[in-house]
A and B are shown apart, each in its own frame.
Chain A
């Protein structure tokens, strides 16, 4: 674990930078109250809908993209430990190569399925 200690130190420095930015900009900047300045930026359109809440339901497709990403990212994560030992395992024959080829066939089938159903067309 000692190798990870410098990352903690770097984290402290980064937090100090963020806090410094936040505090300095609040200390140095002026504070002038104005009603229009605090309203939501909307190109001058006076629409009561915008002023209260912009968080309307969005398209289901974005959620679908996130789910597909999750599946493929897990598959990508499976590649990493395999890749780590692959070169050494070559002394023992082609076992890992064949296993990975079978796995890739499944990934490619999944990719074809995603494209067949047009899941990624967000617009």
Chain B
């Protein structure tokens, strides 16, 4: 790999990373406006038109606040905690294909940070590293609320890892590959003459299991027991202040974006425009770069729809009790995922077997 290639890769990586970080302020605004819409109140409306600059004002305020370190904490782990959550949630962006490819400077550039063969495994393994940040943050704070929140959160996150692995195994079985790019490639065109050729028609149960489990993985509201403010004040981030507190929320929203991106990639055709094939688009639009632009826009649109569903669910559904939460994972989602794998395997055998 020579120097130009290295710089191209670096610039591409930076662009994709910044694009995913941009989701954070946008989502904060969308979430607060969505909450206001559902609860029939105006929401943020002072900073800029419709309060769109509210997240920027919040970030500046966080930056200019004191960052107190309580005297009972374990300083090293306390300082590491928020960043150990932010790092894995940033790293999993690498696995997500945001578009096909562009032709610039006489080179083919894939619109994905790293086109690795084991992208799905990479996603699963790195995303589960976030537990360490939660545990470190909660334990090092030396506070009852934080410790309880961290324990709840870790047992919740690891419980919902298994349904995710099972439904990922289902997707891998259907597509026959670990590469997210290959999976998207297989979802091109039209199915049965009127449906877009999406994975969700073939594995609806897998989608359901993954969708519910990702809610729990991202600590969103029907499963936000770790930070249930009525019982635990703030959960594992009770003792944090200033930008370190904001780092937890940045990680949460980046996780949300990558979770939606994973759902779009596995079940909603990734970057493909519904019903249309890439070669047809290339024929109509003429240039591969314009096609790539359309694809990225399509990918963003699909992610936005899913993010809106996340916000909608958060402000509509009440919180679970802890035993209900554990029972949902072990009693419902894991058997459902297992049954899904077995039924899919048997069906595949009857349709494609010798």
Contacts and interface: CB of A to CB of B under 8 A. Distances in A.
Which of B121, B155, B327 has the most chain A CB atoms inside 10 A of its CB? B155
Contact of A29 (B12, B64, B83, B338): B64
A17 B243 CA distance: 12
Contact of B116 (A3, A9, A65, A101): A3
Contacts of A120: 326-327, 330
Main SS at interface, chain A: helix
Interface stretch (B273-281, B303-311, B344-352): B344-352
Interface string B62-105: 11111111111000000100010011001101100000000000
B154 to A, nearest CB: 8
Given A25-B63, A104-B341, A115-B331, A66 B155 contact: yes
Interface in B1-48: 1, 9-10, 12-14, 17, 21
3 tightest CB-CB pairs across the interface, nearest first?
A: A25-B243, A83-B173, A76-B165
A83 B348 CA distance: 12
Contacts of B162: 69, 72-73, 76
B106 interface: no
Contacts, number: 218
Nearest to A23: B243
A58 interface: yes
Contacts of B147: 54-55, 58
Interface in A15-45: 15, 17-18, 21-22, 24-26, 28-32, 37-43
Given A21-B247, A38-B71, A10 B158 contact: no
B52 interface: no
Nearest to B66: A29
B295 interface: no
A111 B327 CA distance: 12
Contact of B63 (A13, A29, A72, A83): A29
A76 B163 CA distance: 9
Nearest to A6: B114
Interface residues of B, number: 85
Contacts of B335: 108, 111
A86 B72 CA distance: 54
Contacts of A14: 17, 86-87, 90-91
B116 A87 contact: no
Interface in B283-322: 322
Nearest to A75: B162
B158 A83 contact: no
Interface stretch (B136-144, B194-202, B214-222, B261-269): B136-144
Contacts of B71: 38-39
Contact of A90 (B1, B72, B177, B353): B353
A7 B64 contact: no
Contacts of A88: 176
20 contacts: A10-B90, A13-B90, A14-B90, A21-B244, A25-B65, A25-B243, A25-B244, A26-B67, A29-B64, A39-B70, A40-B141, A40-B143, A54-B144, A55-B142, A73-B158, A76-B169, A79-B169, A101-B342, A111-B334, A114-B330
